[in-house]
Structure 1
């Protein structure tokens, strides 16, 4: 089930964030769970993945997308992304943007399956590398 995050999800989201993301941003997640950023979770008997979106209508910025490491490779990311994109479309968003590591072929390949395309390159965006801005027109 895909649903909006609740305050009770906070600890589980923090655990996923710290284990799944190279450069977690705990302060963003702390503020986001109670809004206004949108945090969707995939709950399969427990939260296994989440997407954190900062809305700037008509653009939605996907700030974090994480699947718990033990749940990776089992289709949860695809289910969550499908649900997220459907929800953003139904709310009238026109574009989704995100930033990924330029050299992270696994993440970029995942986003490309949803037809995200490279729109820009950001030199030195990460502590140890460059980033790319990916966009998707809804």
Structure 2
């Protein structure tokens, strides 16, 4: 059984584990902790009471930005990221958010295909935005979903 619910303080060790496993250049635990509060809609997806995915989303007026979404590698490819993102979008619509923004690595074809399926549009390219493990930089594709 899958359950989507708000992130709580006791979740951060597991979220940090997922972050370390799922991202090329992961956030620090401090960055995860700093992206919380009343201006955020942060959700986790649990399967059989185990957190397997999370989303960090900041709301400002009628816009929101998805800062981070991660699925534990052993649970990727099973539709959990899509399910989590669909729930986030639905909750943002209920809160009168009009646009959801995100940035994605140009090379992350799996994520870009998901965002395309959900109706996001490519808006622009941010050159040399993301760091890579080798110290180089990678472009970010800026995408928007008009709710």
* Residue 79 in structure 1 maps to residue 83 in structure 2: yes
Structure 1 unaligned regions, length at least 5: none
**TM-score, reference length from structure 2:** 0.88
Name 2:140's counterpart in structure 1: 131
Name 1:110's counterpart in structure 2: 114
Q: 1-side partners of 2:73 and 2:38: how far apart?
A: 25
Displacement of 1:50 after TM fit? 0.4
Displacement of 1:60 after TM fit? 0.5
* Cα displacement string for residues 25-70 of structure 1 (whole angstroms, at most 9, x for unaligned residues): 2232112345542210001121100000011121100000100000
Q: 2-side partners of 1:3 and 1:42: how far apart?
A: 7
Name 1:32's counterpart in structure 2: 35
Matches within 5 A, 1:1-138: 1-26=3-28, 27-33=30-36, 35-44=38-47, 45-127=49-131, 128-138=137-147
**TM-score, reference length from structure 1:** 0.94
Q: Which aligned runs of 4 or more in structure 1 are off by greater than 3 angstroms?
A: 33-36
Structure 2 unaligned regions, length at least 5: 132-136
Q: 2-side partners of 1:28 and 1:85: how far apart?
A: 23
Decide whether aligned partners of structure 1 residues 106 and 121 sit closer, same or farther in structure 2, where only a CA change above 3 A counts. Answer: same
Q: 2-side partners of 1:94 and 1:55: how far apart?
A: 10
Query: Superposition RMSD on alpha carbons, in Å?
Result: 1.3
Q: 1-side partners of 2:70 and 2:107: how far apart?
A: 18
